[in-house]
Structure 1
Amino acid sequence: MLEIGMKGNAETVVTLDNTAKAFTSGALEVFATPAMISLMEETCWKMIQPELEEGLGSVGTKVDVSHMAPSAIGMTVMCEATLINIDGRKLTFEVVCSDENGMIGMGTHERFIINNEKFMQKANGHK
């Protein structure tokens, strides 16, 4: 059951594959903003998916985050997400990422609960 206040966590290690240079979002070998956003979405998805009925899923629809500090290769980036609002099928999360040196990013993320089959039909151009 989805409840306001529920929390989820995920983490990743900064490698060459998730740097700004690899994502072509910058020239430096530091944790990329797109990788941070992906970790935030993953954290939210993994938290709520076990609570959804069979055949339902969720899709990310909005991200509003700040990436405030760099993380070097080898550092562990941790994300904590908190479900802060439920409005029908729309879920809003507060997300915070940190590494060994402290907070590196924070913001909000919205997801919508969807029927997986209907969503895929729509994605494939069916009515």
Structure 2
Amino acid sequence: MLEIGMKGNAETVVTLDNTAKAFTSGALEVFATPAMISLMEETCWKMIQPELEEGLGSVGTKVDVSHMAPSAIGSTVMCEATLISIDGRKLVFEVVCSDENGMVGMGTHERFIINNEKFMQKATGHK
């Protein structure tokens, strides 16, 4: 059951594959903002998926985050997500990422609960 205040955690290690240079979102070999956003989304969906009925899933619909500090290759970036709002099928999360040196990024992320089969039919143009 989804409840306001529930929390989830995930982490990743910064490698050459998730740097700004690899994502072409910058020229430096530091944790990429798109990789941080991906970690935030992963944390949220993995937290809520076990609470959803069979056949349901969630999709990200909005991200409003700040990436405030760099994380070097070899750093472990940890994300904590807290479900802060439930409005029908719309869920809002507070997300915070940190590494060994402190906070890396923070903000909010919205997800929408969907029927997986219907969503995929819509996505592929089939009714």
- Relative to the length of structure 1, the TM-score reads 0.99
- 1:12 is matched with 12
- 1:117 is matched with 117
Instruction: Give the distance between the partners of 2:67 and 2:32, measured in 1 at CA.
Output: 9
Root mean square deviation, CA, Å: 0.3
Alpha-carbon distance, 1:126 to partner:
1.8
Q: Which runs of 5+ in 1 are unaligned?
A: none
- 2:41 is matched with 41
Alpha-carbon distance, 1:5 to partner:
0.1
- 2:99 is matched with 99
Instruction: Give the distance between the partners of 1:126 and 1:58, measured in 2 at CA.
Output: 20
Alpha-carbon distance, 1:60 to partner:
0.1
Instruction: Give the distance between the partners of 2:46 and 2:81, measured in 1 at CA.
Output: 10
Segments ≥4 residues shifted beyond 3 Å: none
Q: Deviations over 1:20-39 (max 9, x none)?
A: 00000000000000000000
Q: Deviations over 1:76-109 (max 9, x none)?
A: 0000000000000000000000000000000000
Q: Which runs of 5+ in 2 are unaligned?
A: none
Alpha-carbon distance, 1:125 to partner:
0.6
Q: Deviations over 1:30-53 (max 9, x none)?
A: 000000000000000000000000
Q: How many corresponding residue pairs?
A: 127
Q: Deviations over 1:105-127 (max 9, x none)?
A: 00000000000000000000123
